Amino acid sequence: MAKKPIIRAQNLCKTYNTGSEQYHAIRNVDLDIYDGDFTVIMGNSGSGKSTLLYLLSGLDHVTAGEVYFHDQRIDAYSEREMSDFRIRRIGYIYQSINLVPDLSIKENIALPGYIAGTKKNEVQTRTSQLMDAMNIGSQSNRLPSQTSGGQQQRAAIARALINSPDIIFADEPTGSLNYEHGKAVLDILTNINRKGQSVVMVTHDFKAACRADRLIFIRDGKVGGIMEFEKYDEYHIHDRESMIFAFVSGKE
Ligand SMILES: Nc1ncnc2c1ncn2[C@@H]1O[C@H](COP(=O)(O)OP(=O)(O)OP(=O)(O)O)[C@@H](O)[C@H]1O
């Protein structure tokens, strides 16, 4: 069956103005992100990966070009439409985790549910279910600072899932984690993707990139290459890792 785009970028550009200087971080990018895919974005430091993620998810304004979400043009949304889109349709996992320090793990996860106006009992039920799924139920009343980095990252994933978004964006979600915690986070993202959730993940890590159905390589603010895979299977991980390494090394 042909894949359908969930996000489509056309002639996308982002220019940062710093004083008198301009920096063209994203340059005329045409790109489809497919519904149900686990999409991985790789590229050298400063190539524009995070900027691209911000534009595709509506977290930042485009300088030029268009972004479509299921055929709806989101870059033309008003501020109000955009904030509604961000809270209901997308989930965003930040590299820096970004939990609210004064709220408990449970309250952090529930917060976007309340902002979306969902009934209190529904938010509470879903928060409990997500905490169980992420194996952080025992941490629910602790502050983020009283939990491990891996637990905080799993809470950040639960928070991103609370409003059942159509697509999850994750910017280096394993960047600050040790191997064991990083693998647990990747396993969670892989499992939710197998259940149909679209995932877009930026990573520098070749092992993490093996989870991809589709790998997009960004070079100097442009798409430098795209590689397609079958669904991830741990059995073939070593072959896949060397293929990705060869692909990326050839594009740098
Ligand atoms: N707010 C900003 N103002 C000015 N320049 C910026 C801003 N944000 C990013 N840039 C520049 O745009 C370019 C792309 O940045 P971006 O953060 O998207 O890269 P990246 O590929 O995600 O890098 P990394 O892998 O190091 O996180 C970089 O040269 C960066 O310095």
- Domain borders along the chain are 36-58+82-251
Lowest mean pLDDT among 61-75, 94-108, 175-189, 217-231: 175-189
Mean pLDDT (whole number) for 42-67 = 95
Confidence check: pLDDT of 28 > 90: yes
Quickly state the pLDDT bin for 89 (edges 50, 70, 90): very high
Interatomic CA distance for residues 22 and 181, integer angstroms: 39
How many angstroms is it from 91 CA to the middle of ligand 1? 21
Q: Ligand 1: which residue has its CA nearest to atom 6?
A: 16
How many angstroms is it from 25 CA to the middle of ligand 1? 7
Among candidates 163, 196, 3, which has minimal Cα distance to 85? Answer: 163
Residue 104: half-sphere exposure toward Cβ, Cα within 13 Å = 12
Q: Ligand 1: which residue has its CA nearest to atom 24?
A: 45
User: What is the CA angle 210-132-164, rounded to 5?
Assistant: 70
ipTM above 0.90, yes or no: yes
Spell out which residues line ligand 1, taking CB within 6 angstroms: 16, 18, 23, 25, 43, 45-51
What CATH topology corresponds to 36-58+82-251?
Rossmann fold (3.40.50)
Quickly state the pLDDT bin for 219 (edges 50, 70, 90): very high
Interatomic CA distance for residues 173 and 40, integer angstroms: 12
**Do 25 and 15 form a contact (C-beta atoms < 8 A)?**
yes
What is the tens place of the pLDDT at every residue in 154-173? Answer: 999 999 999 989 999 999 98
pLDDT number for residue 237: 77
pLDDT number for residue 229: 87
pLDDT number for residue 180: 85
Confidence check: pLDDT of 234 > 80: no
Quickly state the pLDDT bin for 252 (edges 50, 70, 90): confident
DSSP 86: H
Quickly state the pLDDT bin for 203 (edges 50, 70, 90): very high
